[in-house]
Amino acid sequence: MTDDLKERLRIKADMIHLGETIAWGSDVALMHEAVARITDLEASLAAAEAGEDALAKVTDAYKELLANVEGECPSLVDEDSGASQMLLNLMLAAESALAAYEARREK
């Protein structure tokens, strides 16, 4: 929520708590604005959680693939093969990018 909306909600809550007379309908627009903002935040959170779930699945699949390539297919990581080296470089770059993303997300 914006600081302005939070402050207006605090003020209105304090007025109600102190028993001040409030003009009829003066709080309706504020409440609708707060509900709209909460709804937007819930939708953003759901989308972020779905994105994190998808990222976790991709990360797990990538780590499994990397382990298989390194452990079971040493010919794919043969330094004498240009295509093999490109594949390895791509996989290592993806691993670095995922690690950087996870580090930023933890901040």
| Contact between residue 19 and residue 1 where contact means Cβ atoms under 8 Å apart | no
Each residue of 10-64: pLDDT tens digit?
998 898 889 888 777 778 888 888 889 899 888 888 887 877 777 777 777 777 7
Which two tokens mark 75?
A: 């010919």
Stated pTM of the model? 0.50
Which is more confident, 93 or 19?
19
| CA atoms of 34 and 29, how far apart (whole Å) | 9
pLDDT on residue 84: 62
pLDDT on residue 79: 58
| CA atoms of 67 and 44, how far apart (whole Å) | 34
